[in-house]
Amino acid sequence: MAHQIDKCYVSLRSKLAEADERMSALKTKMAGQAHQAQRDVQQHLDKVRQHIEQQRGKISAAQVEVKHWIEDKKKTTNEKIAEWKVKRETSKLEGRAEGAERYAAAAADVALAAVEEAEAAAMEAALARLDADAGRPT
């Protein structure tokens, strides 16, 4: 169980760090030559958008898994869990634990997709700012 949680945690931290590094690198490029920066940002935005599209099915499935867990959680009261423990209904407890692990993994996938969307939005904003700055009289 701890292995599954650790795996989700490490993956989430890694993806957030990678997104931060990419955004920092793009910010540095933007401080340089505007024309080259615009091309670099657009190329990176295209890659991020392509990745988002490729992951759309996986994310939809993850969202379904999250909703399923929330529905199951509403049905599974603390009293019911306590009863399973007392009666040693390990299959039900095991099923609940496995469901919670799937939920954690799915929630991490959804969160990572949101980070990618935010990254794309930041790049869209950067491109819009470069356009606005280019249109200003000097």
For 79-90, write each residue's pLDDT tens digit. 999 999 999 999
For 98-109, write each residue's pLDDT tens digit. 999 899 889 999
Phi, psi of 76 (to 5 degrees): -100, 100
Positive or negative torsion for Cα 51, 120, 131, 37: negative
* pLDDT in the model for residue 33: 67
Confidence (pTM): 0.75
Nearest to 48 by CA among 128, 111, 106, 123: 123
Residue 32 has pLDDT above 70, yes or no: no
How far is Cα 113 from Cα 53, in angstroms, rounded to an integer? 10
